[in-house]
Amino acid sequence: MKVVIIGGTGLIGKQVGALLRQGGHEVTAAAPSTGVNTLTGEGLAQALQGAQVVVDVSNSPSFEPAAVMDFFQTSTRNVLGAAQAAGVRHLVALSVVGTDRLPQSGYFLAKLAQEQLIRASALPHTIVRATQFHEFLGAIADAATREGRVHAPSAGIQPIASADVALGVARAATAEPVNGLTEIAGPVAFRMDELLRGWLQQRSDAREVVTDESAGYFGAPLKADSLLPGAGAWLAPTTLQAWSAAQAASSTAATA
């Protein structure tokens, strides 16, 4: 089976591609660096020739509200049009758990617009919503830092390793379209303030974490379950503790 991965050179795309190749599938990584630009359409039709499945794990280079909305709407329209013209049988798109619960977030609004375009199309599809990645916890802490202190609410968060996200996406790509949503998440839910407090302590980061219910998530207000998956979500196997230990071991090996 030929699978084209939009965003195939990124964190998730590379791992999805490796998993699919291990399964014997032909994989094409589509990205600006490989001559495919989904915003302009350059190289898109050629890349999709003969593809049975398209996986879209691309992301906007800018998170500014207008820019991110333009990226996901324009890119998704172009991908859908090219996929339908090429006779693609299944589109798999990576989205975010809670996309429809944070209307004050420009990024989440843009992802919701992407989902709506896909669901309104005639293309068989699967939208995989994932929780926040273990790899991005540092960025979450940095974004929540004001005057040297991390302001975080007690709302729930259930992070997942990027390798497990890739596994969930690869599984969706080789399964039948669900023509709807699936959710994937890490195995353990935390309070965001407690999670960031422990995260920083493990890294000998002296920043104090202040429990602040008004802090939100990248400026968007949170309810207790805004970022948590539903009851039917697939819970990935890799705990944050196991992932952190593996990262530390890899870092030690690299410097040895």
Q: What is the pLDDT of residues 4-38, one digit of tens each?
A: 999 999 999 999 999 999 999 999 999 999 999 99
Residue 196's pLDDT band (cuts 50, 70, 90)? very high
Of 158, 83, 67, 173, which is closest to residue 123 (Cα–Cα)? 83
Which pLDDT belongs to residue 256? 63
What angle separates helix 106-120 from helix 65-86, to the nearest 10 degrees?
20
The answer to whether 156 and 185 have CB atoms below 8 angstroms apart is no
Angle at 99 (CA atoms; ends 95, 100), nearest 5 degrees: 140
Q: Is the pLDDT of residue 252 over 80?
A: no
Would you say how long the chain is, in residues?
256
Q: What is the pLDDT of residues 174-183, one digit of tens each?
A: 999 999 999 9
Span 78-91, mean pLDDT? Answer: 98
Domains, the chain, with CATH or none: 2-245 (3.40.50.720)
Q: How far apart are CA 46 and CA 209, in angstroms?
A: 50
Q: What is the pLDDT of residues 209-224, one digit of tens each?
A: 999 999 999 989 999 9
Which pLDDT belongs to residue 251? 75
Which pLDDT belongs to residue 250? 78
Residue 205's pLDDT band (cuts 50, 70, 90)? very high
Span 102-128, mean pLDDT? Answer: 97
Residue type, 190: F
State phi, psi for 12 to the nearest 5 degrees. Answer: -80, -40
Strand 180-185 vs strand 90-96: parallel, antiparallel, or unpaired? unpaired
Q: Is the pLDDT of residue 137 over 90?
A: yes
Which pLDDT belongs to residue 248? 84
What mean pLDDT value characterizes the chain? Answer: 96
